[in-house]
C-alpha cells in the first residue's frame, strides 16, 4: 500500500469525493453477509469510473472471492474476522473508489473524526504489475499483484484507520494478512514490503504441493477436522 494522495498522484485523480452507499448480499457458510461499499465522484466534479454501475459489483465480487478462500494453514478465520470488523466501521468514515488508471493501490487515511475527510481507498482491479522479481525463489516467475489480494491489503488499512491506528506504521501486518489469502489461492506469497524483508511470521514457505505450516497451526486444523467421539475428550497436551 501507499499511504496518502501525494507521491506522484494528484488528489483530483483519485475520483473519491462524494458518497453513495450500496449494499450487496452474499451467502457465506450459510450466513447472509452484507457488504457496504462507499463510492464517490472526483474532487473536480467528474463522476467517471466511480459512478459506473459495475463498480460496487466488482468490489463485492472480490470480497466474496476472498471470503471463500480456504487457507491450508488454517488462518482463514482471521480474514473473516477482519471483514466483519470492516463491516462494523462507520460507513461515513471511509470510501472506496475503483480507478483503472491508478498505477498503485493505496489508502489516504484522511482526517479522523472530521466530516468531509474520510479514509479513502483507491483500488485498480486491472493492476497486475510486479511486486517482487521472483516467486518462491524462481527468478523466471516474478511475483505479481493480484486484484483481490491487493483489495484485502487495503481493507486491512481501512480497518486500522477505523480503529484509530496509523496504517502507515502497520504495513507488515497488512502484508501478513494478504499472504493468508495468497496462500489460500495458491499464489506466491510476498517476502518483502519494498526493500524491507518480512519477518518469518508474515509468510509460510510453500511449494506447488504443500505448505510448511507452523506445527501448532497444523495441530489445531487437524483437531478441528476430527469428528467428536462420544465419551472421548481430546487432550491438547499431546
Q: Are 203 and 64 in contact (CB under 8 A)?
A: no
Q: Which residues contact 28 (CB under 8 A, 6 or more apart)?
A: 64, 67, 68
Taking the CA atoms of residue 200, residue 209, residue 189 and residue 78 in that order, the dihedral angle to the nearest 10 degrees is -70
More reliable by pLDDT, 100 or 144: 144
Q: Which residues contact 235 (CB under 8 A, 6 or more apart)?
A: none
So what's the pLDDT on residue 23?
32
Q: What is the rounded end-to-end Cα distance, in angstroms, of the chain?
A: 41
Measured CA to CA, the distance from residue 93 to residue 115 in angstroms comes to: 8
pLDDT at 75 over 80: yes
Q: The C-alpha cell of 10 is what?
A: 494528484
CA-nearest of 36, 49, 35 to 118 is: 36
**Model pLDDT for residues 63-74, shown as the tens digit of each residue:** 999 999 999 999
Measured CA to CA, the distance from residue 34 to residue 76 in angstroms comes to: 19
So what's the pLDDT on residue 73?
93
So what's the pLDDT on residue 187?
94
Q: Are 174 and 149 in contact (CB under 8 A)?
A: no
Q: How confident is the model at residue 86 (pLDDT cuts 50, 70, 90)?
A: very high
Backbone φ and ψ of 188, nearest 5°: -65, 135
Is the pTM for the entire model greater than 0.85?
no
pLDDT at 9 over 50: no
**Model pLDDT for residues 10-58, shown as the tens digit of each residue:** 333 333 333 233 333 333 333 333 344 444 433 333 333 555 677 778 8
Backbone φ and ψ of 220, nearest 5°: -65, -40
**Model pLDDT for residues 105-163, shown as the tens digit of each residue:** 999 987 776 677 889 899 999 999 999 999 988 899 999 999 999 999 999 999 999 99
**Model pLDDT for residues 159-194, shown as the tens digit of each residue:** 999 999 999 999 999 999 999 999 999 999 999 999
Amino acid at each position: 500500500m501507499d499511504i496518502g494522495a501525494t507521491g506522484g498522484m494528484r488528489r483530483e485523480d483519485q475520483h473519491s469525493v462524494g458518497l453513495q452507499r450500496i449494499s450487496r448480499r452474499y451467502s457465506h457458510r450459510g450466513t447472509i453477509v452484507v457488504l457496504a461499499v462507499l463510492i464517490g465522484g472526483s474532487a473536480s466534479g467528474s463522476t467517471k469510473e466511480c459512478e459506473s454501475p459495475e463498480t460496487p459489483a466488482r468490489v463485492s465480487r472480490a470480497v466474496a472471492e476472498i471470503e471463500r478462500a480456504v487457507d491450508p494453514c488454517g488462518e482463514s478465520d482471521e480474514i473473516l474476522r477482519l471483514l466483519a470488523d470492516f463491516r462494523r466501521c462507520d460507513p461515513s468514515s471511509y470510501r472506496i473508489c475503483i480507478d483503472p488508471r491508478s498505477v498503485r493501490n493505496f489508502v489516504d487515511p484522511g482526517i479522523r473524526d472530521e466530516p468531509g475527510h474520510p479514509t479513502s481507498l483507491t483500488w485498480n482491479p486491472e493492476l497486475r504489475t510486479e511486486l517482487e522479481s521472483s516467486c518462491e525463489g524462481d527468478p523466471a516467475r516474478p511475483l505479481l499483484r493480484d486484484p483481490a489480494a491487493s483489495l484485502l491489503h487495503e481493507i486491512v488499512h481501512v480497518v486500522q484507520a477505523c480503529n484509530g491506528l496509523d496504517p502507515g506504521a502497520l504495513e507488515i501486518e497488512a502484508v501478513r494478512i494478504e499472504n493468508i489469502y495468497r496462500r489460500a489461492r495458491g499464489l506466491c506469497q510476498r517476502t518483502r514490503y519494498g526493500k524491507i524483508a518480512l519477518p518469518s511470521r508474515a509468510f509460510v514457505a510453500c511449494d506447488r504441493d504443500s505448505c510448511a505450516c507452523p506445527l501448532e497451526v497444523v495441530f489445531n486444523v487437524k483437531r478441528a477436522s476430527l469428528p467428536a467421539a462420544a465419551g472421548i475428550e481430546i487432550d491438547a497436551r499431546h
